[in-house]
């Protein structure tokens, strides 16, 4: 895997503390927070773990697709980055006590 892609995964993994997303870190970093839902006061804020994971997943998607096109075409020929992202998402959701499903389909449907 391209070294810069590994760094992106490492960056989002560092936002987790004791297996849970650090919602304060997400709120403090605009590039994560833009993917949080808006609260009742109109401020984008992830208020629970699943929302935090969703924001980080969206950031991960964006950053991986900003990598140089020649690297994406060479290494991502069979959409491995998408597979890696889904593996990451599945792992993080299934480690989260507030996520009550055993599949990813509920994440997308809800």
Each of the 110 residues of the chain gets a pLDDT tens digit; together they read 678 889 999 999 999 998 899 999 999 999 999 999 999 999 999 999 999 999 999 999 999 888 877 766 665 566 678 888 989 998 888 888 777 676 666 666 66
Are 26 and 52 contacting, i.e. CB atoms less than 8 angstroms apart? yes
What integer pLDDT is reported at residue 23 of this predicted model? 96
Q: In 14-103, which residue ranges form alpha helices assigned H by DSSP? A: 23-28, 30-33, 49-64, 69-75, 80-94
**DSSP state, residue 48:** S
Q: How many CB atoms lie within 10 A of CB 56?
A: 24
Q: What is the pLDDT of residue 103?
A: 66
Residue 93 is predicted with a pLDDT of: 85
Q: Burial of 49 by CB count in 10 Å (0-12 exposed, 13-18 middle, 19+ buried)?
A: buried
Which residue range(s) make up the domain with 66? 3-109
Q: How many domains does the chain contain in total?
A: 1
pTM for the structure as a whole: 0.85
Structure confidence at residue 76 (pLDDT): 54
């Amino acid at each position: 895997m391209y070294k810069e892609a590994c760094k992106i995964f490492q960056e989002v993994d560092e936002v987790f503390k004791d297996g849970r997303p650090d919602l304060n870190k997400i709120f403090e970093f605009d590039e994560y927070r833009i993917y949080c839902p808006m609260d009742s006061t109109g401020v984008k804020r992830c208020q629970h773990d699943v929302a935090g994971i969703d924001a980080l997943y969206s950031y991960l998607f964006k950053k991986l697709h900003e990598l140089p096109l020649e690297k994406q075409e060479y290494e991502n020929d069979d959409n491995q980055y998408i597979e890696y992202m889904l593996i990451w998402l599945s792992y993080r959701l299934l480690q989260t006590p507030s996520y009550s499903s055993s599949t990813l389909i509920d994440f997308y449907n809800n």
